[in-house]
Structure 1
Amino acid sequence: MRMKLWWLLYLLAAPAFAAPQLDQLTLPKGFHVAVYSDQVPKAREITLGAKGTVFVGSGDAGKVYALTDSKHDGVADKVRVVASGLESPIGVAFKNGDLYVSAVSRIVVLRDIENHLDDPPKPELITDKLPTEMHHGTKFIAFGPDGKLYVPIGAPCNICDPGPDHGKLTRMNADGSGMEDVAHGIRNTVGFDWQPGTRKLWFTDNGRDMMGDDMPSDELNRITRIGEHFGFPYCQQGDTLDPEFGKGKSCKDYTPPVLKLGAHVASLGMRFYEGKQFPASYKGAIIVAEHGSWNRTKKSGYRVMTVRLQGSKVLSYEPLITGFEQDERAWGRPVDVQPLPDGSLLVSDDLAGAVYRVTYKP
């Protein structure tokens, strides 16, 4: 009953659909934002095809979208649905011409997709061995530099001891075989990427709810070894024992976050920026989409942030885009970020049903 009440509160607090309001957005000097497409309802994770197709997972009736900028003018002039009827296919990943899609308990693949955008193939099952719970059951997915597909399995609760089958990050071969655990103690990661040069995996993690407005913080984490434990549900934000599950535990036994991102900001997609269009200070930085709070007295998040690094050390944590909410009313909720080959940056927004393109020109 308690979990059902928590979920009902979440649904009631979720804002209704809104249209893009770019005039409300604020970016650093020299940066500009435009609509890449406003025809992607509940747009979630973004991945890029080898031929320039932008694929977007969604929470819209089980659909996956393909966006094409055939005029090369920074606007998607064609929007296609390449899959439908899947269960919450928010996650998309591209490898060797094939599009992999997460569907809660399943991973499916659309073979040779960019050559069949107008007549997409039937999804082929990769695995159906993932948990079926919907609570934190949707999955951001990505291929790592080792060629394996990384798949998170969130905790099926706000706060609970998830046991060995949940609250972790896993990886598998592209054919679904060889599934193994990578890290534990992760409540729900909806964004991760590998740092160029070091090839270390960094990820965002959402902190638990119902500990007040300012506790605990969301986390930016870095994996240094297989099997590492990041504290959930025993230790929150790296330094605070959980009031329900922390008894007898010590935060020193778990890996703390590299950076606290703020309470309830709902940090989701993140990517390292390696392009040349933005100023040099953005090279190697992490860009993070913060979806925004739903259970805080005063809203937090609803923005896109830049985390500048020196190796594994955080130098700064600053806004790139703000203005998705004003006066406690939100019209947009950033979900994912994806740099393009020309150095611009795409941002998905599941509330406005849009994908934006951020450019820089002094």
Structure 2
Amino acid sequence: MTTSTRQTAFPDLGAVEDVLRRHLGDGTVRLAVVAMSRDDHPKAVVMATPSGATTPVLAVKVALTGGAARSVRAEAAALEQLGQLDPGLVGGTVPRLLALHETAAGTFLVTTVSSGRPFSVDYHRWHHTGRRRDVRADFDAAAGWLSRLHGLTVSPQPEADGAAALESRWPDEVGMAAAQVCRSARARVGDLDTGHVTHGDFWCGNLLRTGRRVTGVVDWEHARFGASPLWDRVRFALAYTLYLDRHTPSGARVHGHAGLRAGAWGDPVRHLLRGEGWYAAGVADFIAPALGRDPSTMAWRDAVLVGLGEVATTSDSPPFARAHASLLAEVGS
């Protein structure tokens, strides 16, 4: 079916071929592994392009561990529920679930292919995140798409207790301190409208665009039905902020962000939470609509603190999660 080369730790491409035969028949298909996660529950994404086609027609997400299989099943369930709620799948920007295959070789999720280039490609271009107009365009595109997703309403569901989750995952001094900061910040945020569909892992790597328009949003394993729109906005802003200094030598000024130097992990978030400059104002404008408050109230800052806590409790990477818990305890002290 194909002559793809197998590499160490790659998915079993022979098993992928077997799954694809059920959808595409026995013709020649070119496979390309386009994504490999590196967390404790890794998954791979394989694109399939039939002979004669110029672009991929199917995507196969392959679970590489038991934990990853649970995530893949969760994504399948979310895509099925979203498709029932909105058959148009947010204007065709969401992959359509075709099948979930449970085989002896593993768990395989087959979907249609979303079009566009990942936001993360532009994000890492030279000085992109230091130019106000480019950052504003990214946030505007994200906000425009979120307004469409969050327009899908369902029965409100109770929110998880983020502070309790922090105490459970990190039952030590850092975890307890982070939980107290999270609890106080969440109380200041106040009541939220929770009757909406949310993506749950809304960051640049999961967004695709053509020109300035979002044309695809992938990775739906953390989707929620009945949650608050606030948390998608917070997740996007927090992830966008975290790597502002990614391409700046340690100790050097970060282009476009007065007062920010590359240094310790999390310094861009510390800089943001001081609430100074054009970037903080842009984040405030992006988050505030989901709070129903004026950006000048600084309620957006409390929302970001709660967002730090959510990453600290949900990330599949313990070191990454722990770093967020430590940062939350520090900035809230």
On whether the aligned pair clears a TM of 0.5, the verdict is: no
**Larger CA Rg, structure 1 vs 2:** 2
Higher helix share: 2
Higher strand share: 1
So what's the TM-score if we normalise by structure 2? 0.32
So what's the TM-score if we normalise by structure 1? 0.30
